Amino acid sequence: MIGYQCCFCGEDIESNEADVSSLILITNWDKEDNQDQQFFCHIECFKRRLAENVPVFLP
């Protein structure tokens, strides 16, 4: 069984929770030496941290 930790609130995400979500952060996007790292989060934690004028096309 794989465990997930929310990168925003630090809480474990139960694998049977419907809202386990993944973020892929790509640093140096416009350069050749860009790197990526995957994070997990609750979708609600992600949405709470976005600015109000950032559109999210998720339920």
Note the residues at the interface with Zn ion (CB under 5 A): 6, 8-9, 42, 45
Taking CB positions, which residue lies at the least distance from Zn ion?
A: 6
Smallest distance, Zn ion to C-beta of residue 30, A:
30
- Which of 34, 49 has the CB closer to Zn ion? 49
Residues 55/47, Cβ–Cβ less than 8 Å: no
Smallest distance, Zn ion to C-beta of residue 15, A:
14
- Which of 9, 39 has the CB closer to Zn ion? 9
How is 13-28 classified by DSSP, letter by letter? Answer: E-TT-TTEEEEEEEET
Cα separation, 12 vs 57, in Å, equals 25
